[in-house]
Amino acid sequence: MDIATLLGLIGGIFLLLFGIFVSGLSFFDIFDLPSIFITFGGGIASTIIANPFFRIRNLIQFTRFAFIERKSSVVEIIVRLLTLAERARREGLLSLEDDIAELEDPFMRKGLQLVVDGTDQDQIRGVLETELSAIKNRHASNIKFYSMLGGYLPAFGMIGTLLGLIQMLKNLGTGDASAIGQGMATALITTLYGSIGANLIALPIRDKLLQKDADEILERSVMIEGIIGIQQGENPRVLKDKLASFLPPAERPLLDEALGSR
């Protein structure tokens, strides 16, 4: 579980409700069922219209990545690649076959299998970069759902505001203060719902998925350079310096510690 996502969502809701209650409002002052239908119903419906069915069908599957902590890290990947590079340099590329069978990551497994099969360096890079591009496009396609939702929710909040103003103006001539007040409440609450839905749910989930995507692309890029280095028979020390450049300077000592503890 990604604690940051969960804490942020729960903390945001709690602080929002706390601020509302401190201001003297109650839960029922801000709860308006028609406004929920207008804002969230309209926003979600428009997002569904704008996306193909397969993306809607996979909505839960790709949304869960915002709430799941990924275990792999760049340091662990580099250590694994350097271990394989040392073995390949010492025993030959064919000695990696047993290690390939134990690899859990399909991307690394595919790349190393190409190496063992004697595939040309340019072909290996081409195959892996094509798959990396497909991963980027797939992630961007899924993340786009929340970008759209983050735009449609405030838009339907404004639509609800206009409907509330129409209701208020319609009853203005009757002198019915309660009807006028109800129309004004609907007008304001829909805007509130649209802002909350976009800025506390849709856009933060989009940004978390973008960060997860960036992390995975970085890991795959490290794998590509490591696999090519193994295929070329690079000195593990030289390869280590090359792969360490993917790490921020503050994390590079962690790589040295991990390699020193082997």
- Whole domain around residue 130: which residue ranges? 32-74+121-260
Per-residue pLDDT, 179:
63
**Which tokens hold the place of 22?**
């401190």
Same domain, 161 and 139: yes
pLDDT at 169 over 80: no
Same domain, 183 and 239: yes
Average pLDDT in the 28-40 region?
A: 87
Give the Å distances, CA to CA, from 222 to 36, 107, 202.
Answer: 46, 11, 31
What is the per-residue pLDDT across 222-231, written as a single tens digit (0 to 9) for each? 999 999 999 9
Same domain, 21 and 127: no
Q: Which residue has the tokens 């970085």?
A: 218
pLDDT at 262 over 60: no
pTM to 2 decimal places: 0.85
Q: What is the share, in percent, of the chain residues with pLDDT greater than 90?
A: 49
pLDDT at 49 over 90: yes
Per-residue pLDDT, 72:
66
What is the per-residue pLDDT across 87-128, written as a single tens digit (0 to 9) for each? 988 888 888 888 888 888 899 999 999 999 989 999 999 999
Contacts of 124 (CB under 8 A, 6+ apart): 111, 114, 115, 227, 228, 231
Say how far apart CA 110 and CA 132 lie, in whole Å: 12
pLDDT at 261 over 60: no
Same domain, 149 and 215: yes
pLDDT band at 168 (very low <50, low <70, confident <90, very high): confident
Say how far apart CA 136 and CA 213 lie, in whole Å: 7
- Let me know if residue 207 belongs to a domain: yes
- Let me know if residue 109 belongs to a domain: no
- Let me know if residue 93 belongs to a domain: no
**Which tokens hold the place of 29?**
């002052």
Q: How many domains does the chain have?
A: 2
String of DSSP letters for 33-61? HHHHIIIIIHHHHHHHHTS-HHHHHTHHH
Same domain, 56 and 168: yes
